[in-house]
Amino acid sequence: MATVKEIMESAKDRMSKSVDVYRREMVSLRAGRANPQILDRITVDYYGTPTPIPQVGGVSSPEPRMLIISPWDASLLKPIVKALQKSDLGINPVDDGKVIRLVFPAPTEERRKELAKQASKGAEDAKVAVRAIRRDAIEQFKKLRKASEITEDDERKASEDMQKQTDAAIREVDEVCEAKKKEIMEV
C-alpha cells in the first residue's frame, strides 16, 4: 500500500495536471484577440506526419487581431491553408503566396457572453476533477487507517493537508477563469 506522502504527491501532481488542462483549454478559447497558441492544436501533414502549425513555420502577431504564418517550406502553404479551413477556428485564411494571414474579428456582445459561459463551465469541470482527486486520496487515507498503518490523528492531518491542496488548486482555476472572462469581455 502507498504511504501518506506518496498519496499526497500523486494527488498534488494529478491536481496540477487538471489545472494545466483547463489552462490550455482557456488559451485555445478565442476571445477576439490573436493568440499564436491557438494554432498549437491544428496539425498539417508534413511528410506524412501530422505536425502542429507552429512547428512548420514562424507565427507572429503584428497587430492584436492578426496572426501571420510564414511557412519554412513554401510547399506547405496550401496544406496549412487547408488545415486552417478544416479547423474549428471559423476564420478564413488569406494566402498571398508567401505568408498566411489570419484576421480575427471582434466578437459580438452575445458571443462574448457565450464565451464567458464556456470559460465558467470549463472551470466548473476542472473543479469537479480536482475534488474527485481529493475524494480518492481521502479514501486511501481511510484504507490506511483501517489497515492500522496510520493513526486517526495522522489520517485527520493528511485529510486537512489534502483539503489545503484542493483549495489551492481551485483558487488557481478561479484565477485562470477570471482572467479569461476579463479578456473576453474586453471590447
pLDDT in tens, 32-58: 667 787 788 888 888 888 888 888 889
Q: Look at residue 100 and give its three-state secondary structure.
A: strand
Q: Which of 4-13, 23-32, 96-105 shows the lowest per-residue confidence on average (mean pLDDT)?
A: 23-32
Class of domain 4-28+108-185: mainly alpha
Q: For residue 140, count other CB atoms closer than 10 A to its CB.
A: 20
**Helix ranges, the chain (H):** 4-28, 77-86, 109-146, 152-185
How much is the pLDDT for 89?
73
Q: What percent of the chain has pLDDT over 70?
A: 97
Residues counted in the chain = 187
Residue whose grid cell is 480536482: 130
Which residue ranges make up each domain of the chain? Answer: 4-28+108-185, 36-103
The answer to whether residue 30 scores a pLDDT higher than 80 is: no
Decide: 29 and 118 in contact? Cβ < 8 Å: yes
Decide: 175 and 123 in contact? Cβ < 8 Å: no
Reported as a single tens digit per residue, the pLDDT across 113-161 is 888 898 999 999 999 999 999 999 999 999 999 988 889 999 999 999 9
pTM of the model: 0.70
Q: Look at residue 74 and give its three-state secondary structure.
A: helix
Q: Which of 27-31, 46-50, 85-89, 144-148 shows the lowest per-residue confidence on average (mean pLDDT)?
A: 27-31
How much is the pLDDT for 76?
86
CATH code that applies to domain 36-103: 3.30.1360.40
Closest CA to 73 of 94, 107, 110, 44: 44
